[in-house]
Amino acid sequence: MIIVTGSEGEIGRALARRAVEEGLTVAAWDLADRVAAAEEADPAGGTVHRRAVDVTDEASIAAGLEAARSRGPLRYLVNNAAPPAAYARGFAAGVDGVLGSVEKVTRQFCAAVGEDGERWRDDAAIVNVSSVAGTAVALGADWYAAGKAGVVGYTRYLVGSGRAALRVNCVAPGLIATSRSIALQTSDLGRRVVERTPMGRAGHADEVAEVALFLASPLASYVNGAVVVVDGGLLCVP
């Protein structure tokens, strides 16, 4: 079982699709209105189980985890949900929406997978989705950059402190061409970012999903606490 939060955005859908192709059962979490719209357009079935889960609400997360566990052992979590960088939000609320939700879901997920009494779970992993905005590039609002930087720090904290008895890694996308990033893509800043990117284009959702699922998979069994940048080489440009 893999849980994908923010499942109805382009990156979330790419994660779910590729996970199914790898033979995984997917618990696809998003807000109620987004789940309802997705079900109407493309009813889920088989190995994808959509559920309305508010990742800022402890009770909603707990119910989502219980539903996921009823369908099979929890193995992987991809913390992909976050407000778009273009949203106008207050700093504290914005940071909590990005980082606080990751902490809430991760804490409950770790407790759930640890209930079998094992100290370490070789077959379980978490992948947090950050952004180059949280590493070195000023993209989006202040709260977005601060929250995504916090996701990187929280990932490393979980590993270094031993708080998570499983692997935790992070993927940091650059400018990705999605419907939620249209405002940024068409802005002067977005155009400058593409011009500076050695590959000369924005990334695609599938390119982020592939890296995230690699980090979750047994192929990355000794990768722990890593931050993998998926930005077409943007951070290599001075």
CATH superfamily, domain at 2-232:
NAD(P)-binding Rossmann-like Domain (3.40.50.720)
CA dihedral defined by 213, 127, 208, 175, rounded to 10 degrees?
180
| pLDDT at residue 227, as a whole number | 97
| pLDDT at residue 185, as a whole number | 76
Q: Could you list the active site residues?
A: 144
Q: For 145-158, what is each residue's pLDDT tens digit?
A: 999 999 999 999 99
Looking at every residue in the chain, the average pLDDT score rounds to 90
Task: Name the token pair of 208.
Answer: 């982020």
HEC string of the chain equals: CEEEECCCCHHHHHHHHHHHHCCCCEEEEECHHHHHHHHHHCCCCCCEEEEECCCCCHHHHHHHHHHHHCCCCCCEEEECCCCCCCCCCCHHHHHHHHHHHHHHHHHHHHHHHHHHCCCCCCCCEEEEECCHHHCCCCCCCHHHHHHHHHHHHHHHHHHHHCCCCCEEEEEEECCECCHHHHHHHCCHHHHHHHHHCCCCCCECHHHHHHHHHHHHCHHHCCCCCCEEEECCCHHHCC
From first to last of its 238 residues, what are the pLDDT tens digits of the chain? Answer: 999 999 999 999 999 999 999 999 999 999 988 888 877 766 656 689 999 999 999 999 999 999 999 998 999 999 999 877 656 678 999 999 999 999 999 999 999 998 755 666 778 999 999 999 888 876 678 898 999 999 999 999 999 998 888 999 999 999 999 887 777 777 887 888 899 999 999 999 999 999 999 999 999 999 999 999 999 999 999 8
| pLDDT at residue 20, as a whole number | 93
| pLDDT at residue 108, as a whole number | 96
Domain ranges in the chain? 2-232
| pLDDT at residue 43, as a whole number | 60
